[in-house]
Amino acid sequence: MSQALSAQSLSEDDRRLVAEWAATCAEHVLPLFEAEAPDDGRPRDAIARARAFSRGELDAAGEIRRRFVAGRAAHAVSSFAAVSAARAAAQAAGVAHMGAHALGAAAYAARAAGAAAEDRAAAIQAELAWQRGRISDEVAAALRRIPSVGTDGSGPLGQGLLASGELGEIIRDIQEALGAAVAEAREPVRGLHGGAHDAHDLPS
């Protein structure tokens, strides 16, 4: 009997959608890694492969076998920012295996940005805002299909590093923002005569 897929996996089509966004998040903080290890191309290669997977140029099985390569690059650097940047790239590569890793890529990227700044909290929020500005409607819809962090034990958001501590809080912020955007879009809009209309029913 085949094992049921985790809800955190997403369909392959959805994984290909969110892989591009995950790669973009990881690439934004890649200079923090490359400043310390300019000759180590593993994170950059992982990001490029995530994009190639997104375009349908690479198959999921091959990327699943390679998903740990970029993570090993974290051992080549010492600063918290550079380590987090390497792990953001590794998470982006992991999207081929499980869609929830897209949120991991974003969270590690935000943590990297925070670690490199004097005002850690402000830098994390600024990075999250930058990331949100690069989410298309299609990617947002796919990300909303991932269970809330801490609610599903069959993937990286259920237990372990991504579900706890600062990373868990960052992912919770991302998911809450995605949910808030849906609620705002659905909020009834009052017409001139006091009638309530769904925002989706209004003429463009």
Domain ranges of the chain: 12-187
Mark 125-149 as b/e (b = at least 16 C-beta within 10 Å).
bebbeebeeebeeebbebbeebbeb
Q: Look at residue 72 and tell me whether its pLDDT is greater than 70.
A: yes
Q: Look at residue 185 and tell me whether its pLDDT is greater than 70.
A: no
Torsion of CA 127, 132, 135, 138, to 10 degrees: 140
Nearest to 143 by CA among 94, 88, 200, 95: 95
Which 8-state DSSP code applies to residue 196? E
Q: Look at residue 19 and tell me whether its pLDDT is greater than 90.
A: yes
Structure tokens, 150 = 């801490």
d(CA 56, CA 10): 16
14, 142 contact by CB (below 8 A): yes
Q: State the amino acid at position 49 in one-letter form.
A: R
Mark 152-169 as b/e (b = at least 16 C-beta within 10 Å).
bebbbbbeeebbeebbbe
> What is the predicted pLDDT for the residue at 61?
64
Pick 185 or 32 by higher pLDDT.
32
> What is the predicted pLDDT for the residue at 195?
44
Nearest to 74 by CA among 115, 134, 119: 115
Indicate the pLDDT class of residue 2, thresholds 50, 70 and 90: very low
> What is the predicted pLDDT for the residue at 77?
96
d(CA 103, CA 125): 15
Nearest to 93 by CA among 168, 42, 132: 42
Q: Look at residue 161 and tell me whether its pLDDT is greater than 90.
A: no
> What is the predicted pLDDT for the residue at 158?
86
Structure tokens, 157 = 């958001």
Pick 67 or 17 by higher pLDDT.
17
